[in-house]
Chains A and B, each alone.
Chain A
């Protein structure tokens, strides 16, 4: 097994073309345990952490650019990002432990394609896009379209995610991510729910995204929950509709981590609680203040 460490995106795509049996890695917090558990060794491991574009976080004016191989500790430590997208940053901050977070990345979390990946519902809720480099150049794809099933993605041979684009949030926007684990940390989500809410001036929901994780082969949006929210206030009726829609959207498996019935029921609970948390943040938010001069 070879170790390759390209310094640029071009070098990386070239190396990947030369080594069709190579696997890319960022933090390797999934890759190494998988190899240790007996997964066949690839011909080469390609380290993405030496590519500066893949390990930087910057405000590009209209949007944030988040390097796909950036350690999540850099995200939780970024005050501006955490203030604008507390839910996304909290989701990233839930991955493993401090030690794991000094290595783990959003790109790895997404491309490992575990249905239970914590950051993915939060990335979907915030409409994030992945910038993909490959032999044919770059393309940009919505995060929610990347995983295609447990352990599989729509990435083609030789492709990898360089960075993510995250548009600045409009005013009165808040996001939240909640997960259920039996312990308090170092555990895998039995259910996860990521939500983003934008309120209008009357306090009704102007727009909403609701995404759930660990309850289907991939994280998925819950359009029925979003529809129940838009145009309405957050109240018992809309929240009950959100919970019902989230439970209905589940297509879970029965396994050692959770039964189908449990996952369904709790997906509703968490989606509802995440909506409440996101809406509270939206109501209190100063997002967009610098764009439209509002102060709240």
Chain B
């Protein structure tokens, strides 16, 4: 795993770029770390949730009378126990949030919550759930973009008119909105092309597949305050959303973050928190609710299923001249698929002068989609990068050469608006091209595929507080849940800023009342934004300590300097004051030393990744095995390289699963047919080769340490990289995911029967 040092002015870091053991590691490997389901309070009740068995139905009545009398049952809630936010004038997103947490007059997908029970034991709660009688009037359902857009489709949300179409539509629709990206002259662009390739692609909904199921504990006080423990990607967001659904001010609620066993975007929203909160308010006891895997599949996530057409033109010498695309993204039961992000990211790696990208946000009777690593981008990249691969084949050009010829660079116009600042896309292409993996000869039935991807990354709001302790060591408190090793990165940035051993820094994640506001751990933003807040807070502590040293020495602050964790007098006339000495003397210099930094992070550095995948296809069974996989991604600066590599590899692994076997399978009744890890096939370790990584470092000029986000872009290229490799191995262009053995054998059969394999 080579680190390509692109920065010619070696910054000479002492701690950044090293790989110390993570501060939270001991607790995690010894089982002491407390995850969402591990909270246990005196008098705690156990909850269970009743979910809709139908994809679409009107709730005619709910009868809880029998359940209420059952042994151990302490409280039951239905939609009627929650405020009607429409009456309160809430916006569409909040209304959807509330109705997604618990249905009111209609259920919109199998798994939609209808009621919840708190009882002394989980078994009692589950028995009570079964005794609740719900009378449903089953309605016809739609499951795909095509079904939902059909002229006679049943409408999920009557009264919905598609936004952003001219003229304004007069009929109800399942299409919530249309988004468009447009540039140049499409006709002229295609007229200038020597080859034009157009293909239609489909992908299925896939789940984020985090190993830890959702869990929440709520403890309501008699004064109306509610304390919630849950694992999430952002406890401040959980607080706001829970308050919205319960109809109270956010500060009536305190959220303590548990350790999180994976999120990938799927733990950005609330599901159980308001249910546990209301049950606790009704029963006067703490209530815990823990999902099982079936509930996780049916009630949370997934990422959108999609249908995407891409048409790209190119000249014989490899100039891309025009791109047109139509994208339909399933939003699940409520508005809000990431189709907008898809249109903005899909061609960002390339300089297209002419384009028209039209996206549609479409509701279907499936769970409301949640973010999943670079939300929206992987499916669109699958389509674009497959077509670019085919163009490279048609004009006989190496796929990396073709990409290099058209690559976005610093200063080039991004289709979605800005001109790119310093970016490292070309460097990722070069890194792959120059790696030995790209030259290894392939055997029979083997194929190689290349693909690239782009993700914006986010900045947003972060706060951090740094305390100097009485022994001279420091505590760093952040409000960003640690999903991918961020405690370790925060400690490294603090150690570097102070010039002290990283072991002297204790990083921790504070609750919503211990530390200033923080946005979610998402958008690959935490190391960038929260890292910036940590660095600023450390700088403030340094400034304070230098002032106190000057005071001690009775000299001007300008006459002291900070060197390696201590303050020195420039003229050397006094022995240096270490942080420990300054801490010991703080009673004489103004008391304990702490500082907080709260900021809206600017200088976001977007990220590119290029990947190459080698596969072998069994021509008689359609089984695809991944032989080799190499990813090169621009990290800007790798603060803790092991966790950067971990993010690269994790994104690739999830992308390989998406490409080969993961999918929601639905029955004709609109229910999920494979809600377990047995039949929803995420890759197991033996399915994968070592995912080789190249950390490309083109420092982000907008960040004190040069950081870009690394968490998301790694999942953008794999769908296409694997598909291009399979296509190369078989001579069949695979356009429908997942490329399960059945699909691949089907394509091979069609090819041997004289078709083109598609």
A residues bordering B, Cβ < 8 Å?
180, 182-188, 190, 256-259, 262, 265-266, 269-270
In the complex, which residues of chain A have a beta carbon less than 8 angstroms from the beta carbon of B621? 180, 266, 269-270
**Distance (whole angstroms) from the CB of B209 to the closest CB of chain A:** 14
Q: How many A-B residue pairs have CB under 8 A?
A: 49
In-complex Cβ contact of A259 among B665, B673, B681, B742 (8 A): B742
In-complex Cβ contact of A266 among B673, B674, B745 (8 A): B745
Query: Are the C-beta atoms of B665 and A256 separated by less than 8 Å?
Result: yes
Query: Are the C-beta atoms of A183 and B740 separated by less than 8 Å?
Result: no
Which single residue of chain B is at the shortest CB-CB distance from A255?
Answer: B673
In the complex, which residues of chain A have a beta carbon less than 8 angstroms from the beta carbon of B678? 186-188
Query: Are the C-beta atoms of A185 and B686 separated by less than 8 Å?
Result: yes
B741 at the interface (CB under 8 A from A): yes
B661 at the interface (CB under 8 A from A): yes
**Residues of chain B in range 108-135 having any CB-CB distance to chain A below 8 Å:** none
Query: Are the C-beta atoms of B687 and A183 separated by less than 8 Å?
Result: yes
Query: Are the C-beta atoms of B745 and A182 separated by less than 8 Å?
Result: no
B623 at the interface (CB under 8 A from A): yes
Query: Are the C-beta atoms of A180 and B623 separated by less than 8 Å?
Result: yes
A-B residue pairs in contact (CB < 8 Å), sample of 20? A182-B660, A183-B661, A183-B681, A183-B683, A183-B684, A183-B686, A184-B625, A184-B684, A184-B687, A185-B684, A186-B678, A256-B665, A256-B673, A257-B679, A258-B742, A259-B742, A262-B745, A265-B745, A266-B620, A270-B621
Q: How far is the CA of A265 from the CA of B746 in the complex (A)?
A: 11
Query: Are the C-beta atoms of B684 and A182 separated by less than 8 Å?
Result: no
Which of A183, A185, A186: most chain B Cβ within 10 A? A183
In the complex, which residues of chain B have a beta carbon less than 8 angstroms from the beta carbon of A256? 665, 673-674, 679
Q: How far is the CA of A190 from the CA of B681 in the complex (A)?
A: 14
Q: How far is the CA of A180 from the CA of B620 in the complex (A)?
A: 11
Query: Are the C-beta atoms of B742 and A262 separated by less than 8 Å?
Result: yes
Q: How far is the CA of A266 from the CA of B620 in the complex (A)?
A: 7
Interface size on B, residues (CB 8 A): 23
**Distance (whole angstroms) from the CB of B722 to the closest CB of chain A:** 14
Q: Which 8 A-B pairs have the closest CB atoms?
A: A184-B686, A269-B620, A256-B665, A262-B742, A256-B673, A184-B687, A182-B661, A256-B674
**Distance (whole angstroms) from the CB of A209 to the closest CB of chain B:** 23
In the complex, which residues of chain A have a beta carbon less than 8 angstroms from the beta carbon of B749? 265
In the complex, which residues of chain A have a beta carbon less than 8 angstroms from the beta carbon of B746? 262
Given the known A-B contacts A262-B741, A262-B745, A266-B621, are A182 and B686 also in contact in the complex, defined by CB atoms under 8 Å? no
**Residues of chain B in range 660-704 having any CB-CB distance to chain A below 8 Å:** 660-661, 665, 673-674, 678-679, 681, 683-684, 686-687
In the complex, which residues of chain B have a beta carbon less than 8 angstroms from the beta carbon of A266? 620-621, 741, 745
In the complex, which residues of chain B have a beta carbon less than 8 angstroms from the beta carbon of A187? 678, 681
Query: Are the C-beta atoms of B740 and A182 separated by less than 8 Å?
Result: yes
**Residues of chain B in range 611-632 having any CB-CB distance to chain A below 8 Å:** 620-623, 625
Q: How far is the CA of A187 from the CA of B740 in the complex (A)?
A: 14
In-complex Cβ contact of A180 among B660, B661, B679, B741 (8 A): B741
**Distance (whole angstroms) from the CB of A104 to the closest CB of chain B:** 15
**Distance (whole angstroms) from the CB of B395 to the closest CB of chain A:** 35
Sample of 4 more A-B contacts, CB < 8 Å, known A180-B623, A183-B661 = A182-B740, A184-B684, A184-B686, A262-B742
In the complex, which residues of chain B have a beta carbon less than 8 angstroms from the beta carbon of A186? 678, 684
Task: Name B's interface SS.
Answer: loop
Q: How far is the CA of A269 from the CA of B618 in the complex (A)?
A: 11
**Distance (whole angstroms) from the CB of B688 to the closest CB of chain A:** 9
**Distance (whole angstroms) from the CB of B53 to the closest CB of chain A:** 13
Q: Annotate B304-342 by CB proximity to A: 1 below 8 A, 0 otherwise.
A: 000000000000000000000000000000000000000
Which of A182, A185, A266: most chain B Cβ within 10 A? A182
In the complex, which residues of chain A have a beta carbon less than 8 angstroms from the beta carbon of B665? 256
**Distance (whole angstroms) from the CB of A54 to the closest CB of chain B:** 28
**Distance (whole angstroms) from the CB of B684 to the closest CB of chain A:** 5
In the complex, which residues of chain A have a beta carbon less than 8 angstroms from the beta carbon of B683? 183
In the complex, which residues of chain A have a beta carbon less than 8 angstroms from the beta carbon of B679? 188, 256-257
Which single residue of chain B is at the shortest CB-CB distance from A259?
Answer: B742
**Distance (whole angstroms) from the CB of A3 to the closest CB of chain B:** 17
**Distance (whole angstroms) from the CB of B152 to the closest CB of chain A:** 28
Which of B679, B681, B742: most chain A Cβ within 10 A? B742
In the complex, which residues of chain B have a beta carbon less than 8 angstroms from the beta carbon of A259? 742
**Residues of chain B in range 638-673 having any CB-CB distance to chain A below 8 Å:** 660-661, 665, 673
**Distance (whole angstroms) from the CB of B503 to the closest CB of chain A:** 36
**Distance (whole angstroms) from the CB of B121 to the closest CB of chain A:** 16
**Distance (whole angstroms) from the CB of A101 to the closest CB of chain B:** 15
Which single residue of chain A is at the shortest CB-CB distance from B625?
Answer: A184
**Distance (whole angstroms) from the CB of B490 to the closest CB of chain A:** 36
Which single residue of chain A is at the shortest CB-CB distance from B738?
Answer: A182
Which single residue of chain B is at the shortest CB-CB distance from A188?
Answer: B678
Which single residue of chain B is at the shortest CB-CB distance from A263?
Answer: B742
Which single residue of chain A is at the shortest CB-CB distance from B677?
Answer: A186
Q: How far is the CA of A294 from the CA of B742 in the complex (A)?
A: 46
In the complex, which residues of chain A have a beta carbon less than 8 angstroms from the beta carbon of B687? 183-184
In the complex, which residues of chain B have a beta carbon less than 8 angstroms from the beta carbon of A184? 625, 684, 686-687
In the complex, which residues of chain B have a beta carbon less than 8 angstroms from the beta carbon of A180? 621, 623, 741
**Distance (whole angstroms) from the CB of A46 to the closest CB of chain B:** 23
**Distance (whole angstroms) from the CB of B344 to the closest CB of chain A:** 34
**Distance (whole angstroms) from the CB of B732 to the closest CB of chain A:** 16
Q: Annotate B60-78 by CB proximity to A: 1 below 8 A, 0 otherwise.
A: 0000000000000000000
Q: How far is the CA of A171 from the CA of B684 in the complex (A)?
A: 39
In the complex, which residues of chain B have a beta carbon less than 8 angstroms from the beta carbon of A182? 623, 660-661, 681, 740-741
Q: How far is the CA of A269 from the CA of B683 in the complex (A)?
A: 24
Q: How far is the CA of A187 from the CA of B620 in the complex (A)?
A: 20
Q: How far is the CA of A262 from the CA of B743 in the complex (A)?
A: 9
Q: Annotate B221-259 by CB proximity to A: 1 below 8 A, 0 otherwise.
A: 000000000000000000000000000000000000000
**Distance (whole angstroms) from the CB of A25 to the closest CB of chain B:** 20
**Distance (whole angstroms) from the CB of B673 to the closest CB of chain A:** 5
Q: How far is the CA of A186 from the CA of B674 in the complex (A)?
A: 15
**Distance (whole angstroms) from the CB of A234 to the closest CB of chain B:** 17
**Residues of chain B in range 536-567 having any CB-CB distance to chain A below 8 Å:** none
**Distance (whole angstroms) from the CB of A53 to the closest CB of chain B:** 33
**Distance (whole angstroms) from the CB of A37 to the closest CB of chain B:** 9
**Distance (whole angstroms) from the CB of B25 to the closest CB of chain A:** 24
Q: How far is the CA of A190 from the CA of B679 in the complex (A)?
A: 11
**Distance (whole angstroms) from the CB of A248 to the closest CB of chain B:** 17
Q: Annotate B508-528 by CB proximity to A: 1 below 8 A, 0 otherwise.
A: 000000000000000000000
Which single residue of chain B is at the shortest CB-CB distance from A258?
Answer: B742
Which single residue of chain A is at the shortest CB-CB distance from B292?
Answer: A36
**Distance (whole angstroms) from the CB of B42 to the closest CB of chain A:** 28
Q: How far is the CA of A266 from the CA of B674 in the complex (A)?
A: 22
**Distance (whole angstroms) from the CB of A227 to the closest CB of chain B:** 23
Q: How far is the CA of A243 from the CA of B502 in the complex (A)?
A: 64
Q: How far is the CA of A269 from the CA of B745 in the complex (A)?
A: 12
**Distance (whole angstroms) from the CB of A146 to the closest CB of chain B:** 24
Which single residue of chain B is at the shortest CB-CB distance from A243?
Answer: B620
Q: How far is the CA of A265 from the CA of B745 in the complex (A)?
A: 9
Which of B620, B660, B684: most chain A Cβ within 10 A? B620
In the complex, which residues of chain B have a beta carbon less than 8 angstroms from the beta carbon of A185? 684, 686
